[in-house]
Amino acid sequence: MQTKANQAFAKVPAATLGFWVVKILATTLGETAGDALTMSWFGETTNHPLFADGHWGYLYGTLLLSLPLLVMILAQIRAQRFHPWLYWGTILAATTAGTTLADFCTRFLGEGTVESYFLGSALLLTCVLASLFMWHRMLGSISIESVRGPKAEGFYWTTISLSQTLGTALGDWTADTSWQGTALGFTGGAMVFGAMLIGIALLYWRTKISRAGLFWAAFILTRPLGATLGDWMDKPIAKGGFDISRPLASALLLLAIALCLWIWPQRAANANAAH
């Protein structure tokens, strides 16, 4: 018979292969769905110059998406155990809201310039690191296996929401910024972040670096990867994309996520594996 300690599980999924595949798909969906809301729908429904250019659309989109995000986070915290569909629904809400918030910040910091991307990314990175620091200082661990109480869950979802916003800014910065006169573009940006994730996987298997630290590094990097992949799907062909309509791209990604959750059933992380 299992002891009570052996039955202790976190309220978040274990970091399995299926988890990372769904995470990348979810962050890509966040990009296409966020752009659909702020650029395709809000941006084309008014003649106001700022709103039509997407500036106010990003702000209104963020405000609109913040409410369901807060509701789902509260539902996640109040739940007695791990629920895969609730968890990934909250992730989707966070990544979509993060997309619109990051776009709003970079546009108002400098119209999407190199400086605005740098300032926005630096500010958001500081917020993510501050959240992780306070989490570790107050509770002693930032591992996903320790996410079982309201305080840990509060820090967990705060870090996730900030990292989703940071990732969008990093993805746009990489894809749009010129290096020696040439921008990496969406494909180049995806290859850069994909290579960085492979590097983290090698560090996981070949070194004894903190697993919690590697997890959060990978978690953050999947967001700019998803941002570049999302832009690659829905941006015009002239800009290096495939020009798939944003609603259609979002629907296809949502279907892929549902299929992956069926193929790879998610399980809760074992609290006894915390390290």
Mean pLDDT, residues 123-133: 89
Residue 4, domain member (yes or no): no
Q: What pLDDT is recorded for position 72? A: 93
Q: What pLDDT is recorded for position 47? A: 45
Residue 105, domain member (yes or no): yes
Higher pLDDT, 99 or 109: 99
pLDDT tens per residue across span 186-231: 777 788 889 999 999 999 999 999 999 999 999 988 988 888 888 8
Query: What is the phi/psi pair of residue 228, to 5°?
Result: -70, -40
- Counting every residue written for the chain, the total comes to 275
Residue 219, domain member (yes or no): yes
pLDDT for 161 beyond 70: yes
What is the C-alpha to C-alpha distance for residues 272 and 275, in angstroms, rounded to an integer?
Answer: 9
pTM above 0.85, yes or no: no
Query: What is the phi/psi pair of residue 252, to 5°?
Result: -65, -40
Least confident range of 19-33, 158-172, 258-272: 158-172
Which tokens belong to 118?
Answer: 């740098």
Query: What is the phi/psi pair of residue 154, to 5°?
Result: -60, -45
pLDDT for 114 beyond 70: no
Residue 266, domain member (yes or no): yes
Residue 3, domain member (yes or no): no
Residue 214, domain member (yes or no): yes
Which tokens belong to 82?
Answer: 């791990």
Mean pLDDT, residues 104-127: 70
Report helix, strand or coil for 208: coil
Q: What pLDDT is recorded for position 80? A: 87
Q: How far is CA 229 from the centre of its chain?
A: 13
Higher pLDDT, 245 or 108: 245
Q: Give the count of domains, the chain.
A: 1
Q: What pLDDT is recorded for position 1? A: 37
Q: What pLDDT is recorded for position 174? A: 72
Residue 112, domain member (yes or no): yes
Q: What pLDDT is recorded for position 272? A: 59
pLDDT for 154 beyond 80: yes
Q: Percentage of the chain surpassing pLDDT 70?
A: 77
Residue 1, domain member (yes or no): no
**Nearest 10 degrees: Cα torsion 23, 27, 32, 38:** 140
Domain that holds residue 172: 9-273
